[in-house]
Structure 1
Amino acid sequence: MKVREFQTEDTPQLVHLMSQLGYPTSLEKLESRMANIHSQPGYHTLVAVLNNKVVGMAGLCHNLFYEYDSCYVRIVAFIVDIDHRRKGIGEKLIHEAEKWAIKLGATHIMLNSGNREERKAAHKFYLNMGYTNKSTGFSKSLEDKHSLKSTKRP
């Protein structure tokens, strides 16, 4: 198993992983999404490959702190194929993400993980990797606001 940078031809194999992560999508949508993501300089995607098959992915984003004079990396997407968990793949992906963060001079690396029952094993994994449960995240959809904006006239 090796971890390497994402390549465009990996996208079809990521469709299945995104579904396992809880975000089903089509190949066309994911191709567009990945093109948009990789047009941004602060984003970086790693994939874990075993026997020429993508079995894991870490989507990373480099940001600046408001509260400190340094930068951080956020793991914004992280998944290991359900058939390949508990084999060290996630650990290797995390270590490679941390190496990338250190290379950029980041002082912290962080992630959010949903509070759903199926995420409990992931939470235990993150704790075992040295991450701390430090905050509670909140989310609000703005999709309805976008549709209102497009129908209003100035």
Structure 2
Amino acid sequence: MGELGYPTTTDEMEQRFSKINSNALYNTQVAEIDGAIVGMIGMMLGFHYEKNENYVRIVALVVDSKYRKQGIGEMLMLKAEEWAKEQGANRIVLNSGNRSERNDAHKFYTNRGFERKATGFYKLLGR
């Protein structure tokens, strides 16, 4: 997650992944080189209120900066498409921040057929 700009401790990631991994609507795929994880994609199956089709949302995609531009991200995206089809989904969606450091990621997505379609809104809830 640090490669995505979200510093995370091992304990925090273990807690998060424990919840994610226990939910059948989520799927996580990793890329390994010589036993080390160099990339991952996390996705979830979603359902529409307004239509019958299912979709898969990519909620995390990261490749270690030392291993980028070697086809790892492409392989992970193909795994996402494969899982989406297995789930009966007819589309894959994702959000990506509008920060300048995300420009390469945006190009990666558009080169793979993704279209810029939406504007996102976020609201923090008080506790």
1:137 and 2:115 are equivalent in the alignment: no
Structure-2 residue corresponding to 1:117: 100
Helix, strand or coil at the partner of 2:89: coil
1:126 and 2:109 are equivalent in the alignment: yes
More helix by share: 1
Structure-2 residue corresponding to 1:54: 37
Displacement of 1:55 in angstroms is: 0.6
Q: Between Structure 1 and Structure 2, how many residues are aligned?
A: 127
**Whole-Å separation in 2 of the counterparts to 1:111 and 1:136:** 12
Alpha-carbon deviations, 1:89-114, whole Å to 9, x = none? 00010001000000010011110000
**Whole-Å separation in 2 of the counterparts to 1:141 and 1:38:** 25
Greater C-alpha radius of gyration: 1
Match of 1:38 among 18, 21, 35: 21
- The 5-angstrom pairing of residues 4-153 of structure 1 reads 18-142=1-125, 145-146=126-127
Helix, strand or coil at the partner of 1:107: strand
Which consecutive segments of 4 or more residues in structure 1 shift more than 4 A? none
Amino acid corresponding to residue 53 of structure 1 in structure 2: A
For structure 2, which runs of at least 5 residues remain unmatched after alignment? none
For structure 1, which runs of at least 5 residues remain unmatched after alignment? 1-17, 147-154
Compute the TM-score of the two structures, normalised by the length of structure 2: 0.97
Alpha-carbon deviations, 1:41-94, whole Å to 9, x = none? 201101011121111010000010112101100000010110111111000100
Compute the TM-score of the two structures, normalised by the length of structure 1: 0.80
Amino acid corresponding to residue 8 of structure 2 in structure 1: T
Over the aligned positions, Cα root-mean-square deviation in angstroms equals 0.8
Displacement of 1:20 in angstroms is: 1.0
Amino acid corresponding to residue 34 of structure 2 in structure 1: N
- Identity within the alignment, %: 49
